[in-house]
Every structure is written in C-alpha cells, then in structure tokens.
Amino acid sequence: MTAAAADVAVRAEHLRKAFDGLVAVDGLDLEIHRGEVFGVLGPNGSGKTTTIRMLCGLIEPTSGTATVAGFDVTRQPEAVKQRIGYMSQKYGLYDELTVYENMRFYSSVYGLHGDERTARLEEMLDELHLRARRDQRAGTLSGGWKQRLALACATAHKPPVLFLDEPTAGVDPASRREFWQRIHALAKAGTTILVTTHYMDEASQCARLAFLSRGHLIAVGTPEEIERQFNQPTVEDVFIELQRRDEQDA
C-alpha cells in the first residue's frame, strides 16, 4: 500500500443510488484524505444526504464501491460503523434522558464500558463544557447545546472518520463558531471530517470542497480552485451560479 493510499480515509468509486427509477446519485468518485475537513455543497435534492448515508452504511448503493477508514462499506459494514461518527440535523438525542445519560448510552453502544467509559464521559463533559448541564434533560436544551451533546455522542469512541450532515443548521452564530473551532481541532488531531453545509463562511473554512448537482459531482478542489473553475469571486457566488443553472435545466 503506497503512502498516498494509506492517507485516503474515504474513497468512493462510481457510487450510484437509484430509488425506484429516480437516480439520486450517479457516478460519484471521491477521495478524502486523512485529517481533512472536506465540505460537500449543493442545492437541495443534489444528493448530498444520500451520499453521506451511503458512506455511513445507512443505505446500500445501487452500484459502485465505497471504502471508509479502510473497510468496504457494503462488505464490512460493522467494521465501518465502529470507526465512524455521524451527526444529522435531527441530532438523534433522547429528549427524556439527561445529557450524561445520552452520552453514556451512546458510548456503551460503541463498546465503551466500566472505568474506561466513565473516564471518557468525564473527559467529554469537560472538553465540551457540558458539565454544568450534566443532569439536564436533553429535550430542554437549546439548539447550540444539543449540537454539542450530539457531537459528544458521535465522538465518544474517538472515530477516525466523522460525518456531519448540516450540523449547524438553525444554530446561533456563537455556537456555530465554537463548533467549527472544535471541528478544526479534531481534524488537526487526525480525524477526517466530511461535512455538508449551506453556510458559505463554513465552506470557505474547508480544506477542500465538492459540489454536487442533481446527483453528479461537478467540481472538486480547494475553495480557490473552485472559484477559479467557475470564474466567480467567492464560493457563495459559485453556489448561486450552480443553483441558477440547476433551475434553468430543470
């Protein structure tokens, strides 16, 4: 295995997903390197969520292959699941359980037990400043705190790859900024992060971006490369231009 290959945390080859005739994703080729913060952008319906779900093992690809953290998503889904964290817009938290209980549940499910788990839970409480809200019911938390808790639950087992599907939607600017500081810290420590977002300031913080449109990958590269490719001053302009084209062709 070459050094470059060992460096690839997520690879997709000709990934395709069709739902009853409707093709959501087609011919997707992707390579994400270890420790990268990789952004996936695109209008609604472009296949972002479907792509993430295929890479997580939530849905099966119609054809094509995907490798995450060194394991094939279709053939070794259990190994993949142990090595990824996932955070969706809905957060996936149990409202009736407290902050601590949610974290404890998810860490158990990821195989942490006993002293190891307790230590890790204490660590996360401090890292994410959740200690003050330790015994508060998750349902009563505000958006920013829920987001923090969801991240804790997704990273309890310190996965090498993190999938975040619009993690900052509807969250206040201060929480958003703090969240991204954490993301960058995780990436610096070696975690590979794939994130979808509609926020352009977040997109420009990504190491590389991928633009999806109607299930196809139409651009991959650093924010500057993409701006150059589409001859637009900012990533936001690229996005608006692509959306305009999408609507024109529709």
Partner 1 sequence: MSKPAARSTFWPMLWKEFLQMRRDRFTLAMMIGIPAVQLMLFGYAIRTEVRHVPMAVLDESRSAESRALVDVLKNTGNFDVTRNVMSRDDARRLIERGDVHAALIIPPDYRLNLKRGRQATAQVIVDAADPLSSSAAISAASLASSVASLSIARVTGATHQPVDVRVRPWYNPDLKSSTFIVPGIIGVLLAMMLILITSMAIVRERERGTLEQLVVTPISRTSLMLGKIVPFILVGYVQMTVVLSLGKLLFDIPTRGSIVLLYVLTMAYIIANLALGMLVSTLTKTQVQAMQLSFFLILPNILLSGFMFPREAMPAPAQWIGLALPLTYYLTILRGVLLKGVGLPILWRETVILCAFAVLLIVVSVKRFTKTIG
Footprint of partner 1 on this chain (CB under 8 A)? 56-60, 78, 81-82, 84, 86, 88-95, 106, 109-111, 153
- Phi, psi (rounded to 5 degrees) for 22: -85, 120
Listed residue (96, 99, 52) closest to 73, CA to CA? 52
Nearer to partner 1, 39 or 57 (CB): 57
* In the complex, minimum distance from the CB of residue 131 to partner 1, in angstroms, rounded to a whole number: 23
* In the complex, minimum distance from the CB of residue 128 to partner 1, in angstroms, rounded to a whole number: 18
CA distance 200 to 41: 9
SS3 171: coil
* In the complex, minimum distance from the CB of residue 139 to partner 1, in angstroms, rounded to a whole number: 10
Nearer to partner 1, 88 or 213 (CB): 88
Cβ–Cβ under 8 Å, residues 219 and 193: no
* In the complex, minimum distance from the CB of residue 154 to partner 1, in angstroms, rounded to a whole number: 8
* In the complex, minimum distance from the CB of residue 78 to partner 1, in angstroms, rounded to a whole number: 6
Nearer to partner 1, 80 or 187 (CB): 80
Cβ–Cβ under 8 Å, residues 160 and 69: yes
Nearer to partner 1, 19 or 131 (CB): 19
Q: In the 8-state DSSP scheme, what is residue 78? A: H
Place of tokens 């920013």: 144
Cβ–Cβ under 8 Å, residues 203 and 4: no
* In the complex, minimum distance from the CB of residue 228 to partner 1, in angstroms, rounded to a whole number: 36
CA distance 36 to 191: 8
Q: Among positive and negative, which fits the CA dihedral 84, 219, 74, 1?
A: negative
Nearer to partner 1, 27 or 92 (CB): 92
Nearer to partner 1, 83 or 216 (CB): 83
Give the helix ranges, DSSP H, for 60-160.
Answer: 77-82, 99-109, 114-127, 143-155
Q: What is the DSSP string of 132-157?
A: GGTTSBGGG--HHHHHHHHHHHHHTT
